[in-house]
Structure 1
Amino acid sequence: TKAHEEEDISLFSEVKESHIEVQDALVGAQKFKIFCGSWNMGAKDPWDALSDSAKENIDVTKFIPRGYDIYAIGVQEGVNDNVFDKIGEALPDLVRLRVPKDSNKVYGRGDGSFTHPKFTGIVIFVSREVLGSVKLLRSGALPFGAAEGSKGVVGAVVGVGRVTI
């Protein structure tokens, strides 16, 4: 519905203002624009209440700007990969670096998420133009907390030219 779309847009604006850092990495003579973002999903799919036709028209470029060479996107309390998939669809000139499945997410059931696990996850997209200069060097996932706790961290180490990020 229109009300849900407006609510989502305001949420995205809030996320953009409070969680996004933009950095330039100078590597030799080549300059890379890097976009980093993090989003707390609140243990729900942000578009679950939308109609199928509204889901097809989601424009994630309202909170994921175009024109960067590398995008590192993290989520907390995610329930599915819909956000990652929508970013990939919206920015088709990017290649998704495959972070191994055993190190791209930490699952848990804590904080009231008893029926469905939630996760902390990461995805990295790279422009085809700089793909030869960017490599996933290492990734890892580390759960914190007692049995089935929902706290944890995921991370990726990326080589950009001769610089490690």
Structure 2
Amino acid sequence: MIIILYLSVAVIAIAFAILVISLMRTLNELKGTMASVSHTLDSLNKQLEGVTGETTMLLHKTNSLAEDIQGKVEKLDTVVNAVQEVGGTVQELNHSLKKVTTSISSSMNRNQEKIAQVVQWGAAFKEIKDKWFGEKGKHESSRKQKSTAPKAIPAPKWERSH
């Protein structure tokens, strides 16, 4: 029985030695993997520093562009408001012109008869004026013909003695 006991202890010792050797190999491989991970993380950290710098620059440029765009939008907003006001003014002007046109049209329709009478009176007045100045012109031309005839010089009525 002691042999069994020694054999058991020997088997346990061999099993423990195999376990330790396996564990050492695993730990060595884990050490290599961890070194590789550490190297990868260092490389990644350096790359992230470069990306972080570029990202910071891009962020500053983006903020600058956003401020510039905001200023231009505010300026454009005033232009849009001015154009809207001009549009409103033009619309009001059109409305006023339509009112005036409608008013004139309705006034002309109401006063069409009076306008026709005024035109007739004007035509009659022109006709009378033409006749008046036509006859007056005839009288003046006959007077001019009489005045253009040579006149006799009257003889002196008395002579002076010296």
**Larger relative contact order (CA 8 Å, sep ≥ 6):** 1
Q: TM-score, normalised by structure 2?
A: 0.16
Tell me which protein shows more helix as a share of its residues. 2
Q: TM-score, normalised by structure 1?
A: 0.16
Structure with larger Rg: 2
Tell me which protein shows more strand as a share of its residues. 1
